[in-house]
A = this chain, B = another copy of it.
Amino acid sequence: MATAQFAPSPTQPRLLPSQQLSNTTRARSLRLLSRPPRPARVRCSVAPEQVEAPVANPQQEKAPKNRASECYGVFCLTYDLEAEEKTRSWKKLINIVVSGAAGMISNHLLFKLASGEVFGQDQPLALKLLGSERSIQALEGVAMELEDSLYPLLREVSIGIDPYEVFQDAEWALLIGAKPRGPGMERAGLLDINGQIYAEQGKALNAVASRNVKVIVVGNPCNTNALICLKNAPNIPPKNFHALTRLDENRAKCQLALKAGVFYDKVSNVTIWGNHSTTQVPDFLNAKINGLPVKDVIKDTKWLEHEFTEKVQKRGGALIQKWGRSSAASTSVSIVDAIRSLVTPTPEGDWFSSGVYTNGNPYGIAEDIVFSMPCRSKGDGDYELVKDVIFDDFLWERIKKTEAELLAEKRCVAHLTGEGIAFCDLPEDTMLPGEM
């Protein structure tokens, strides 16, 4: 068992490793840095002198907003959506931020968002892409491909590397960016490195995003990253933060369908409880197949209690073996599912899983962590927890184990949540294989 203490960064932003790592059993070279001042790096492929005088056209005559410092290419133009018949009935444009925007998950997700399949064919949108110094060129490539796709609903694309700039007025923040674990890095190290990214992004959301921004954290370890993010955004309701466990739910549904010999659309009410890690609890006690309890359909209890959970956990690793890379396509599908579950009413009697902030939960799970639980939505972007679930000893014991892990992770990042001195005593390494 590795233990480590980290000093809180808000008060001691630039400690040397030797100062931070008092009372550690193993030395680590972690640096706790406050946000360095970074230049606002943006790109725009169309200079004013390149633009011809447009044809006489009513919406062109309005004074254009000056957005030249942040937009990209053809998306630097301004439009009056109300001036045209075909766009007049559209909803008000929404601002969607995607971090890690040059990565493979985003490369799938951005085009799904732009196509209208997520928010609907009457929802124009602005995509704000957050990358890093290293990825800014690739971000331009992404923006160019978005240009070439001619999506009518995609009205603005901007790219940048400073979250305080890119997160401006964000109504959705899809936080995918995270550092992958380097060779030899332990989970405590990963928690700290990515935790710092999410602390900064929480602060940035707090400073500049819409007060009702919905945040979905995908970068791992996503539950604790989401906790760090919401703790650093005290002016945004903690209820607005989600950690993505939807891919686990989808995989669990598929495995139950395969075992039962039914199509996956017959499987419902599947909860992933707890952490997006190997301690996650895919719940077969409350799940249903064709409206019947799973245990009435799948009699193989040994399979349910052991192989099922393992299959869900190991799916990512199995995929990497087959495919040579991680599951970007199905992850992005599950992000779409997670968003849709918040903007469309949940089907009667069903629910969906999301890692959400525990604050008065009805199950007796520890408060003040981000824990995946069953949720329902009226389609307004908000959700409520499902009350009519049952527990047995087998389920509850596993829930307590994943809860213990999340509490340990929380102690490990106390320096990033403003709760004092971090103390890392993670019981074992439970990172899912193939997770970024």
Contacts and interface: CB of A to CB of B under 8 A. Distances in A.
A263 interface: yes
Interface in A92-135: 107-108, 111-112, 115, 117
A358 interface: no
Contact of A330 (B149, B264, B333): B149
Contacts of A299: 52
Interface stretch (A27-35, A178-186, A252-260): A252-260
A73 B258 contact: yes
A381 B251 CA distance: 36
13 contacts: A52-B260, A54-B261, A55-B289, A79-B263, A108-B111, A111-B329, A117-B117, A137-B321, A144-B315, A144-B319, A144-B322, A148-B315, A150-B253
A19 interface: no
Chain copies in the assembled complex = 2
A138 interface: yes
B327 A145 contact: yes
A45 B318 CA distance: 12
Interface of A: 45-46, 50-55, 57, 60, 73-74, 77, 79, 107-108, 111-112, 115, 117, 137-138, 140-142, 144-152, 155, 247, 250-251, 253-254, 257-265, 289-290, 292, 296-300, 315, 318-319, 321-324, 327, 329-330, 333-334, 337
Given A50-B259, A74-B258, A150 B264 contact: yes
Contacts of A265: 150, 152
